[in-house]
Structure 1
Amino acid sequence: MEINKVHSDLKEIYKDKNVDKKFNFTFEYEDGDEKFLLMKLLKKGYWSVMPFAFSADNILAFQLNPNKERFQDTSIVSFNNTYQECFMISPNVKGIIPLTNLIFMHKEYFRKRLQDTIDEVILSSKPFFDYFGGGDLEFFKEFLLSESNQQRFENAEEHKENFYKEFWSHYYNTPENTKAFELFDKLIQRLTYLPEYEDVDHDYGLWNNYIGNVLAKRAYSKIKIEDKDKWKHYWRCAQLPHGFDADGNRFEEYTIHLGWSNSILDSIADSFDSEWESKYAMFPEEVKKHPLFEATEAIRKVGGYAGDLHIKAAVILEKEYNDPIGCWNALLSASYWAGKKGDLDLVEMCWGLAIDLSRTHGWTEIHNVLSEQMEFYYHYKDKI
């Protein structure tokens, strides 16, 4: 039994074809028990992603998004088997082969091999792009072979962040991406810079999660700034789906670094304290009464928090706030905490509520994927 149809189809299309050195990922896990690795992902609470490939011991998956009608248009995340969290690696399926290869572009041997074999890579990629309805590697080929880049390749390590920005600007050519990199430049130029919340209260598209985490972490590090001047960054972070794009480093370059969401959230949750009068007073009434306030407070106060108050918040957001996206995000957060605690009952509860939510709001593709992957989960739950 396969986890979903897309993964099953790709395995069949690329059966007996070695694409690891061409794509820097494979469709069959070659270093162990594939079902065990996929079940680890689901048991950690990540039922909201749709796996389709493996890069070393990490799982590549589409991040299901209620705001997108087709999964092909959603971002692709890597479930890191060491950190056991998800990190965005590509804005869409069209960019996944170039961006997984870009990781090693500063290594001369790797780069020269790609330059020598790019036509073979293009040929191998055609069934992949055909399956998803379009895409090609022409930009990637031009990048590898253009004369103007050969000089930059001589100092590839120095230019790797510029390469990263250029790839994202090509494969996610949107105003949101432009705004995100403008902010990144300011954060890199001044490592002590914390923007006023109102100056960054924008929609950054696929970067929303990452930016919310980065700004909350930077705000927390500013010990000379009082919480009353930082809480809006904290509140933005608290409302995002937990377990995605937690950068554990100081923001010194564009590339997403690995970190733990629980570390960031445990830090900021200290400010959400209804019993600490001076801190509680800084929040406006609508925030104090918001169901995610109590849930965020519990992260720090409740030992071994397993996400139950995020489930409660999700139900309230759907029924009382008429906020299905907020409900979806709260369910993802609840499942993240349940997965960290190893509470499979709560993971399954979140999953079931998400299936109901997707049915109610006509998110047909999400509903089908969640249901299909739940069958896989229950089939192997007691076997692996």
Structure 2
Amino acid sequence: MEINKVHSDLKEIYKAKDVEEKFNFKFEYQNEKEILIECLKQGFWSIMPFGFEGDNILAFQLTPYKKIYIETPIISFNNTYQECFMLAPNIQALIPMANLVFMDEVFFIKQFQERIEETITLSQSFFDYFGGGDLEFFKEFLLSQSNQERFENPDEYKEDFYKEFWSHYYDTAENTKAFELFDKLIQRLTYLPEYEDVDQDYGLWNNYIGNVLAKRAYSRIKIEDKYKWKHYWRCAQLPHGFDCDNKSFEKYTIRLGNSSSLLDSLSPSFDSRWEEQYAIFPEEVKKHPLFEATEAIRKVGGYSGDLHIKAAVILEKEYNDPIGCWNALISASYWAGRQGNLDLVEMCWGLAIDLSRTHGWTEIHNILSEQMEFYYHYKDKI
């Protein structure tokens, strides 16, 4: 039994073909079922795995109201951090983005240049399977005469390459706004924008930016919390376990971090026992079900997500907020997974299946159900 049909199909298409050397990822992995089951036990049922990047799992990030093979980002579940990080804006960008990781060294760039035609040939079945795409931009980027001087010192230009790839493969107003903000954050490491100036849609960057700004706010110890709480509150509402950089933001490239560390730092700001701190939040925020859940992260020893489950139910039934419910279930499952509480992980998963059925998220419903069969088949065997 395979975890899903896409992974099964890709394994069959590329059976006995050495794709890792060209793609910098592959579709089969030694002990892959053990790795996949462990990922699911950690609470990450909201992703759709299909490949492996080293020891890490490549997957679609399931997103309500988004077409999976066109609009959803590709994430890498990091086997060390046990968190997910966005690698590419869509499946069509994955091969170039996976190669981009190594484009800070002359040796690898020369390899990519020498192999580009073979890579294009090998990739055709991949793009055909997902309904289109090509490597023309990647080829032109590698062979363009104007880039050869930069390739002599690629480490110096790695961040420029990153921005250029994202600007091509995610050519949207949201991406432009995101990189404009990144530039400001990099230019002044003490810069914390007014919340109202960044309270906008950054598309695929929403999770990352929410986490980055919350971390930047937390690190500015000389700024009063009344100027920071909105950044904290936005972060608290995000799906935990995704795109968390809890270090100092100094580069475009997403750096690895832990949601648990960041939220553990922010949680005391939501502690109702601290009257002066508590008074900063408006009543509608304090009454929001995620406020109590965020407070519990630090307050409750060994927090395992139960209050996020409670919040998810309230958000669906009373707030009529299915996206908020979905995000809360992902967060609940993240905290349950960290504590090894499989009962709560499975409860969240089941509620997500019900939620997707209720709101007609057919693709998501089918994937969650299919992957749950895989999970229960191997759960106690591995």
Q: TM-score of the superposition, structure 1-length normalised?
A: 0.99
In the TM superposition, residue 220 of structure 1 has moved relative to its aligned partner by 0.3
SS of 1:152's partner is helix
* 1:335 matched residue in structure 2: 333
Residue identity matched to 1:211: I
Contact persistence 1:241–1:330 (CA under 8 A): yes
Structure 1 position 71, deviation (Å) = 3.8
AA of the residue aligned to 1:21:
E
Counterpart of 1:169 (choices 167, 170, 176) is 167
Matching residue's letter, 1:126: Q
Deviations 1:264-312 (A, max 9, x none): 0011111001111101111001100000000000001000000000000
1:310-321 to 2 correspondences below 5 Å: 310-321=308-319
The alignment partner of 1:7 has SS state of helix
Which residue number corresponds to residue 41 of structure 2? Answer: 43
Which amino acid letter does the alignment assign opposite residue 99 of structure 2?
N
Q: Judge conservation of contact 1:64–1:71 (CA < 8 Å) in 2.
A: no
Q: Which residue, 122, 125, 132 being the options, matches 1:124?
A: 122
Q: Which residues in structure 2 correspond to 1:242-281 (within 5 Å)?
A: 242-281=240-279
How many residues matched?
382
SS in 1 for 2:150: helix
Q: How far apart, CA to CA, are the structure 2 residues paired with 1:116 and 1:364?
A: 43
Shift of 1:73: 2.0
- Offset at 1:67? 2.6
SS at match of 1:68: coil
Unaligned stretches of 5+ residues in structure 2: none
The separation in 2 between residues aligned to 1:10 and 1:265, in whole angstroms, is 37
The runs of at least 4 aligned residues of structure 1 exceeding 4 Å deviation read none
Matches of 1:81 and 1:15 in 2, distance apart? 24
1:17 aligns to what?
A: 17
For residues 271 and 364 of structure 2, the distance between their equivalents in structure 1, rounded to whole angstroms, comes to 36
Contact 1:306-1:340 within 8 A present in 2 as well: yes
Q: Give secondary structure in 2 for the equivalent of 1:270.
A: helix
Paired with 2:262 and 2:70, the residues of 1 have a C-alpha distance of 30
Q: How does 1:45-60 map to 2 (within 5 A)?
A: 45-60=43-58
Which of 203, 213, 216 pairs up with 1:215?
Answer: 213
Separation of aligned partners in 2, 1:294 and 1:378: 32
1-structure distance, mates of 2:132, 2:369: 27
CA distance in 2: counterparts of 1:341 and 1:83, whole angstroms:
15
Letter in 2 for 1:330: A
Give identity over the alignment, percent: 78
Q: Partner residue of 1:85? A: 83
Secondary structure of 2:134's aligned partner? coil
1:248 deviation in Å?
Answer: 2.9
1:69/1:363 contact within 8 Å kept: no
Opposite residue 125 of structure 2, the aligned amino acid is: P
CA shift, 1:19, in A, is: 0.6
**Match among 229, 232, 252 for residue 231 of structure 1:** 229
Is the 1:65–1:71 contact (alpha carbons within 8 Å) kept by the matching residues of 2? no
CA-to-partner distance for each residue in 1:86-137, whole Å, 9 max, x for gaps?
0000000011000010010111111111101101000000000000001000
Equivalent in 90, 93, 102 of residue 104 of structure 1 = 102
CA distance in 1, matches of 2:233, 2:95: 35
Q: Which residue of 2 aligns with 1:189?
A: 187
CA distance in 2, matches of 1:71, 1:317: 28
Which ranges in structure 1 are unaligned for 5 or more consecutive residues? Answer: none
Matched AA of 2:236 = A
> Is the partner of 1:269 in helix, strand or coil?
helix
Please name the residue that 1:204 is paired with: 202
Are 2:370 and 1:378 equivalent residues in the alignment?
no
Q: Note the C-alpha offset of 1:69.
A: 3.0
Report how far residue 226 of structure 1 moved.
1.0
Q: In 2, distance between residues paired with 1:67 and 1:290?
A: 24
Distance in 2, Cα, partners of 1:121 & 1:351: 38
Alignment of 1:350-369 (within 5 A): 350-369=348-367
In the alignment, which residue of structure 2 is the partner of 1:288? 286
**Using the alignment, how far apart are the partners of 2:198 and 2:370 within structure 1?**
39
* Corresponding position: 1:305 with 2:264: no
Matched to 2:55, the amino acid is D
